[in-house]
């Protein structure tokens, strides 16, 4: 629909570490996380974060994977043939045309969270576009157990997008807006997003402010996520990844209900922090994939030296 | 004895005027934001159709989620009781009843005297409810009424993978983008709902005859998909969306 503002539409993004000259790298790896809503691509040079891109997943996973790669590699001169190893992950992982291997998003998020937040993390909550996962991991980022909801939009980013559109509030502002209430109202009682939407419409008619309605929805979403976490059990440190990790309205309510604080969204790698690298919780899966790609490239001898020798 | 039944649902209010077991008039009004006004309107339109006035009606009973909003009612009855009463009066041989409204659905079995013996309800999830069909029709830029024809035109059986109505909407949009024929998508949608409803039916057990009532029963395409899924003949009464209202009017006459 032309002209109609799309409040759910979050901005696509890109970042590059200008200190790295990839042509001097030994192993260049790429992780592509083709999710149902967004596709992320992370490129690493010798295991160091070089660049990443995040785009909206289109109706065609293959195109989305290429788009995400191009977004990350823009202005770097990097081409697909320069990448030694690519690992695809996420729900469209088998559709990454240049992927050398595909690995489940559970494993990749676990590894990515371990790399981003550090080895003390034992429970990862990944709140994505169309699913929500709780993953228990060890100090190396290996998966011990997990639980996942991918059947129902309640408790996922997609549900939040529906509400952003209903209330005409840009998706990035939803979390903050929902915290703008004196006291949390009772959570929206419907589980189903479709029913919650009609419930919200009734609340608005009854005179509730948008802030209050959002607070009620964020709170019901938090409740749902917490019940998933409690079913698996939680060990600290507790880290949150995925797009919804950026929504303070949900994050604060989840941690409050759990009575456990979440890790600060800060790099375990102090150098990254001091250099001001952006800490984007949405790239955890793709970062994990790029790390796996590095291990696999080494194992299979796909590095710059080996290519020179050939 | 002349009585009236009002079924105040999530989306529509339906009213029937009955005399000695015969429907004299019926009317529907969208519940919108004012369920009370809608009940008044549906009642008056139904009365108009019969040429009767409010004073001619001896008793009015209400049912449905908004039954308490019906100010002119003399009493109310439970949704399930109203459905069971209505269907067993109209079709005494029905043993399994599938009631599918806009937001809630239930499947129950009744015995020869219309008593409910087993029941399962879904009011938590839109997958399998009428609102799912409407959402899908919107995504496909068609109308629920046209779904039956499209279903018949379908040449290829495809599967909708999403369970959730919200996810299914995105899936349908992807299928539209991939230039999948509309008829095949409609069939996939109807089959998806049929699968959900069939699993509810199997939970309570199938005993012939099987009847589908509620607004969704008007969708002939869905009935076909459900028959295919269950491999059972399904009966749909006349005015399947008025069964609860009829049940309420019958209760008023008791």
CA distance B10 to B8: 7
Report which of B128, B250, B245 is spatially closest to residue B197, judged by C-alpha positions: B128
| Model pTM above 0.80 | yes
Residue A308 buriedness (CB in 10 A; 0-12 / 13-18 / 19+)? exposed
Does the structure show a pLDDT above 70 at A2?
Answer: no
pLDDT tens readout for residues A199-219: 898 888 889 999 999 999 999
pLDDT for A57 equals 87
pLDDT: is B179 or A135 the higher one?
A135
Query: B1-91+239-254, superfamily in CATH?
Result: ATPase, nucleotide binding domain (3.30.420.40)
Q: Can B1-91+239-254 and B93-236 be said to share one CATH topology?
A: yes
Edge-first strand listing for the sheet containing B75-76: B22-30, B12-19, B2-8, B59-63, B75-76
* Percent of the residues in chain A that have a pLDDT greater than 90, as a whole number: 69
Q: Looking at CA atoms only, how far is residue B111 from chain A in angstroms? A: 33
- Contact residues on chain B for A130, CB-CB shorter than 8 A: 167, 170
User: Residue ranges of the domains in chain B?
Assistant: 1-91+239-254, 93-236
How far, CA to CA in Å, does B183 sit from each of A221, B94, B178?
36, 32, 14
Q: How distant is the Cα of B132 from the closest Cα of chain A, in angstroms?
A: 9
Q: Which residues of B touch A159 (CB under 8 A)?
A: 166
- Kindly report, residue by residue over B230-250, the tens digit of the pLDDT: 999 999 999 999 999 999 999
Contacts of B207 (CB under 8 A, 6+ apart): B95, B96, B109
Subunit contact A192:B33, Cβ cutoff 8 A: no
The confidence score (pLDDT) of residue A306 equals 64
Cβ-proximal residues to B90 (8 Å cutoff; 6+ apart), any chain? B237, B243, B246
The CATH code of domain A122-258 reads 3.30.420.40
Closest A-chain CA to B166: A153
What was the pLDDT predicted at A307? 57
Residues in chain B: 254
CA distance A154 to chain B (A): 9
Question: CA separation (Å) from A292 to A139, A166, A199, B63?
Answer: 16, 40, 44, 60
pLDDT for A96 equals 87
Which residues of chain A are in CATH 3.30.420.40 domains?
13-115+269-309, 122-258
Tell me how far apart the alpha carbons of residues A61 and A122 are, in angstroms, rounded to a whole number: 31
For A235-246, the pLDDT digits (tens) are: 999 999 998 999
**CA atoms of A243 and A225, how far apart (whole Å):** 14
How many residue pairs from chains A and B have C-beta atoms closer than 8 A?
A: 49
Q: What is the pLDDT of residue A310?
A: 43
Peptide bond into A237 cis (omega under 30): yes
Q: What is the mean pLDDT of residues B180-207?
A: 94
CATH architecture of B93-236: 2-Layer Sandwich (3.30)
CATH classification code of A13-115+269-309: 3.30.420.40
Chain A positions contacting chain B at CB under 8 Å are 36, 58-60, 130, 151-153, 158-159, 162, 190-195, 198, 205
Residue A144, token pair as written in the block: 């011990």
Q: Residues A113-132: pLDDT tens digits?
A: 999 999 999 999 999 888 89
CB B101 within 8 A of CB B121: no
What average pLDDT does chain B have? 92
Structure tokens at A234: 């939680």
Per residue in B171-192, pLDDT (tens digit) is: 898 888 888 999 999 999 999 9
- Angle CA A246–A247–A252, to nearest 5: 110
pLDDT at A1: 43
Q: What is the pLDDT of residues A3-36, one digit of tens each?
A: 567 888 788 899 999 999 988 889 999 999 998 8
- pLDDT tens-digit profile of A40-73? 999 999 999 999 999 988 777 788 899 999 999 9
For residue A240, give both structure tokens. Answer: 């949150």
């Amino acid at each position: 629909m032309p002209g109609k503002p799309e409040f759910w539409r979050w901005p696509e993004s890109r970042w590059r570490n200008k200190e790295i000259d990839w042509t001097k790298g030994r192993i260049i790896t790429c992780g592509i996380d083709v999710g149902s809503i967004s596709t992320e691509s992370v490129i690493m040079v010798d295991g160091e974060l070089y660049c990443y891109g995040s785009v909206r997943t289109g109706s065609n996973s293959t195109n989305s994977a290429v788009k995400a790669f191009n977004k990350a590699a823009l202005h770097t001169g990097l081409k697909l043939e320069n990448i030694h190893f690519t690992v695809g992950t996420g729900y469209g992982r088998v559709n990454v045309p240049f992927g050398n291997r595909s690995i489940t998003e559970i494993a990749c998020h676990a590894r990515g969270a371990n790399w981003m937040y550090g080895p003390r993390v034992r429970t990862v909550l990944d709140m994505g576009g169309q699913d929500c996962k709780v993953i228990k991991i060890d100090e190396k980022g290996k998966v011990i157990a997990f639980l996942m909801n991918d059947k129902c939009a309640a408790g996922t980013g997609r549900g939040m997008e529906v509400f952003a559109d209903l209330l005409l509030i840009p998706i990035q502002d939803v979390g903050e807006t929902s915290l703008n209430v004196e006291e949390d109202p009772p959570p929206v009682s419907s589980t189903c997003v479709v029913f919650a939407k009609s419930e919200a419409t009734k609340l608005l008619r009854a005179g509730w402010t948008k802030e209050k309605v959002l607070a009620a929805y964020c709170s019901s979403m938090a409740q749902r996520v917490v019940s998933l976490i409690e079913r698996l059990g939680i060990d600290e440190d507790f880290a949150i990844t995925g797009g919804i990790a950026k929504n303070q309205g949900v994050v604060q309510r989840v941690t409050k209900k759990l009575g456990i604080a979440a890790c600060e969204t800060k790099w375990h790698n102090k150098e990254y922090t001091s250099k001001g690298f952006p800490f984007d919780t949405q790239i955890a899966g793709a970062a994990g994939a790029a790390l796996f790609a590095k291990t696999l490239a080494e194992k299979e001898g796909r590095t710059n030296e080996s290519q020179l020798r050939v | 004895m002349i009585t009236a039944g009002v079924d105040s649902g999530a989306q529509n209010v339906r009213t029937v005027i009955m005399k000695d077991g015969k429907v004299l008039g019926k009317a529907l009004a969208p519940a919108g934001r004012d369920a009370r006004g809608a009940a008044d309107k549906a009642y008056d339109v139904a009365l108009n159709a019969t040429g009767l006035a409010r004073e001619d009606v001896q008793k009015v009973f209400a049912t449905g989620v908004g039954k308490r909003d019906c100010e002119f009612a003399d009493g109310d009855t439970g949704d399930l009781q109203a459905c069971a009463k209505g269907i067993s009066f109209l079709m005494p041989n029905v043993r399994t009843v599938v009631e599918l409204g806009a937001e809630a659905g239930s499947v129950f079995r009744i015995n020869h005297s219309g008593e409910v013996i087993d029941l399962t309800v879904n009011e938590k999830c839109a997958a399998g409810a009428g609102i799912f069909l409407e959402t899908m029709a919107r995504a496909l830029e068609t109308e629920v009424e046209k779904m039956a024809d499209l279903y018949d035109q379908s040449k290829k059986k495809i599967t909708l993978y999403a369970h959730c109505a919200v996810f299914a909407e995105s899936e349908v949009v992807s299928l539209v983008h991939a230039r999948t024929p509309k008829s095949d998508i409609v069939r996939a949608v109807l089959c998806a709902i049929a699968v959900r409803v069939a699993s509810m039916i199997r939970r309570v057990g199938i005993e012939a005859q099987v009847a589908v009532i509620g607004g969704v029963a008007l969708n002939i395409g869905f009935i076909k998909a459900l028959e295919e899924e269950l491999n059972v003949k399904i009966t749909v009464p006349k005015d399947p969306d008025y069964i609860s209202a009829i049940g309420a009017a019958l209760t008023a006459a008791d």
